[in-house]
Structure 1
Amino acid sequence: MLKFNSRTFKVASLIFVSFLLKSFHLKAQTITPVKEVKRVSIRGLSVIDNKTAWVSGTGGNVGITHDGGLTWTWRQVKGFEKSDFRDIEAFSDKEAIIMSSGTPAVILKTADGGLNWQLKYQQTDKAYFLDAMDFADTKHGFIMGDPIDNKFLLLETKNGGETWAPAADAPVALKDEAAFAASGTCLRVNGIITIVTGGSVSRMLSSPVNKLNWIATPLPLTNGEPSRGAFSVAYGKKQTIVVGGNYAKDKQTDSVVYILPQKHAAQQGNIPQAGPSGYQSCVEYLGGGTFLSTGTPGSNLTTDGGLTWHKIDSTTYNVCRKAKKGSLILLAGDGTIGIYKP
């Protein structure tokens, strides 16, 4: 028979209370859907501050909010009504850059809040398929695309997107390796450039921004098919988290998340004890040990650096992003936009 003294009782009580508090905290996380969203598939999302954010998607559509996501103004980019704008990078309520996946591959820029767009890059060769875009600062940015001649396409700008040219050294791609234009976050730039891949293999490709020298790190995420692999990467203070899975079988929960300690990303890694509820197309760092991920089976949250994940919403979203300057967190999907409340 177990005997409980006062010390044992106190320890058990503290554990129980801690469990209740954690459960209450996780249940308090909510994602509120925005009403009257334009019925387009949205994969591009850029949140500037607590008021301003941009989205981009199919049918040449771009949306902007000035009230934290509650209402949106939509415009169809003239001359590009059939384009699928898979990613967007916004710098203010006036200035933004969009890129399209598919043919033709185009990059456009606006300086007047989306009223007018200027074509900055175009490629009609069907081999060009753009996947994601990110910037180190307002001037220096990169766009990556699927491999051409055994190398990933990597375009670079050093003048805020006015002109684009092939980067000096793009990473080598393995046979049938590719990247996913699912949320614009298979590419991240933050002192280093990081690309995560899928298809025949799952890898992380990383290099310093100003002197391209690529290091390849194998990822134990599901791979071997065109629909499987790593889809998104996010930098935290203590760890880097990669999410993915199999979008064709999105309820499968095996090999969806991989955790890499920030300082030794090439040498160490972990699979979570309890992962997200299936395929995840995007992951975003929120602060501390907290990351938010989302995908077609729903959205998931971790507060312990990726070791355990809890499903907080069942709505399908493609992308989730936090404000560059502020606390606003938005999600977007196929005719859906959500506001995350911690």
Structure 2
Amino acid sequence: MSRKSIQFFIYTLLLLNSLGAYTQQVRELEGRPGISFRGLSVVNERLLWVSGNKGTVGRSTNGGASFTWMTVKGHEQRDFRDIEAFDAVTAVIMAVDSPGIILRTFDGGASWQEVYRDNRTGIFLDAMSFRNDQEGVVIGDPIGGQFVLLQTHDGGRNWQSPAGAEKHIPVTGEAFFAASGTNIQALKKSKYLYASGGTRSRLFTPGAVIDLPLVQGGSTTGANSLAVRYPRRQNGGRYWVVAGGDFSHDTVRTGNIAITRNAGRDWISATIPPFGYRSSVVFIRGRKLISCGTSGVDISRDGGLKWTNISSTGYHVCQRAKNGHAIYLAGGNGRIGKLEW
């Protein structure tokens, strides 16, 4: 092959790769104007639930073509910052601020049972993650010098502080962001990862506490979201991507992404970072990721090193279907979207 032919071939590959990134777009679906959505759970290609302020929960069984909207009775002024759905009738929602409560429905949202309540002053539940339909974990801001940590082993029917859990001590001004429900990830064998922000941004793992290479030091800075990938061949290591930044300066691109390919021993930063503060990040397939925040949506095709902006419309949270490949997003002013890819 001649030199010109090789150059043309390389140019064509780069062009196709670029076009592949830009043809992806977020299609806006029916929303709920006036509501801020930060909770999102995608069960399969067609079934998704969202939760937000003003006691609002929504469910779609047809891929977002339409939603059934409900206001949780007795909790009309609560902000449900996270939701975990298991099927068309069973879901768990978590409300921030005092009292901290967790509710569960078994009839599609027609009724909700209170399964956890914390009346302490200063309680603030931030995020929830389930490894399967039985094992879940909730993280909350520190009270009395310790982070709030809850676990369930029965699908959210009962919650308790895990016995024998390592007690991590927060520094002054360190807490968690209830931005997207994705700064904690449930792992196997009742283990979990969670990431803090504020004056200090750290990743708490089953065996270590790691300072993150993200912007930090202020009340609006640090980690907001964790994405975990289990590659087939990586010497047994784990690939984690942490997203965040400074939500008070949401177009600043520095210090908003951190990547580790060996379970936190070494970290690298993106060579082309997301286009601003990002409150949620998730693996789509293989090394491909999507991230979103108040200033837009980005795609990475190489494990988080280089990002392409595909939308300047803000979203708070993005999630992939547990069973399937569909990617949905939710955000402010009742906005709900679906990634076309």
The question of a shared fold, defined as TM-score above 0.5 by the shorter chain, is answered with yes
Write out per-residue CA displacement over residues 225-283 of structure 1, whole angstroms, 9 at most, x where no aligned residue: 1100010000123421000000001011101110110xx22311110110000000000
**Residue aligning to 1:222:** 215
The aligned amino acid for 1:62 is V
The aligned amino acid for 1:274 is I
**Residue aligning to 2:42:** 47
Deviation at 1:144, TM superposition (A): 0.6
Give distance in 2, aligned partners of 1:190 and 1:19.
Answer: 37
Deviation at 1:94, TM superposition (A): 0.5
The aligned amino acid for 1:124 is N
**Residue aligning to 1:299:** 297
Deviation at 1:7, TM superposition (A): 2.6
Give distance in 2, aligned partners of 1:35 and 1:194.
Answer: 33
Write the mapping of 1:93-172 to structure 2, written as runs, cut at 5 A: 93-168=88-163, 169=165, 170-172=167-169
Contact 1:237/1:288, CA 8 A, preserved across alignment: no
Write out per-residue CA displacement over residues 104-162 of structure 1, whole angstroms, 9 at most, x where no aligned residue: 11100000000000011112222210000011221121111001122210011111111
Write the mapping of 1:197-276 to structure 2, written as runs, cut at 5 A: 197-207=196-206, 214-238=207-231, 239-261=239-261, 264-276=262-274
The aligned amino acid for 1:273 is T
Give distance in 1, aligned partners of 2:142 and 2:90.
Answer: 29
Contact 1:99/1:106, CA 8 A, preserved across alignment: yes
TM-score normalized by the length of structure 1: 0.94
Write the mapping of 1:164-183 to structure 2, written as runs, cut at 5 A: 164-168=159-163, 169=165, 170-183=167-180
Contact 2:97/2:122, CA 8 A, preserved across alignment: no
Give distance in 1, aligned partners of 2:142 and 2:23.
Answer: 43
Number of aligned residue pairs: give it.
329
**Residue aligning to 1:286:** 284
TM-score normalized by the length of structure 2: 0.94
Give distance in 2, aligned partners of 1:230 and 1:242.
Answer: 7
Q: Percent identity?
A: 37
The aligned amino acid for 2:80 is F
Deviation at 1:171, TM superposition (A): 2.8
Contact 1:150/1:175, CA 8 A, preserved across alignment: no
Q: What are the ranges of 5 or more consecutive residues in structure 1 without an aligned counterpart? A: 1-5, 208-213
How large is the RMSD of aligned CA atoms in angstroms? 1.2
Secondary structure (helix, strand or coil) at the match of 1:279 reads coil
Secondary structure (helix, strand or coil) at the match of 2:89 reads coil
Write out per-residue CA displacement over residues 170-199 of structure 1, whole angstroms, 9 at most, x where no aligned residue: 433222211100000001113241101111
**Residue aligning to 1:3:** none
The aligned amino acid for 2:285 is G
Contact 1:236/1:287, CA 8 A, preserved across alignment: no
Secondary structure (helix, strand or coil) at the match of 1:23 reads helix
**Residue aligning to 2:321:** 323
The aligned amino acid for 1:216 is V
Q: What are the ranges of 5 or more consecutive residues in structure 2 without an aligned counterpart? A: 232-238
Secondary structure (helix, strand or coil) at the match of 1:166 reads coil
Deviates more, 1:191-200 or 1:167-176: 167-176
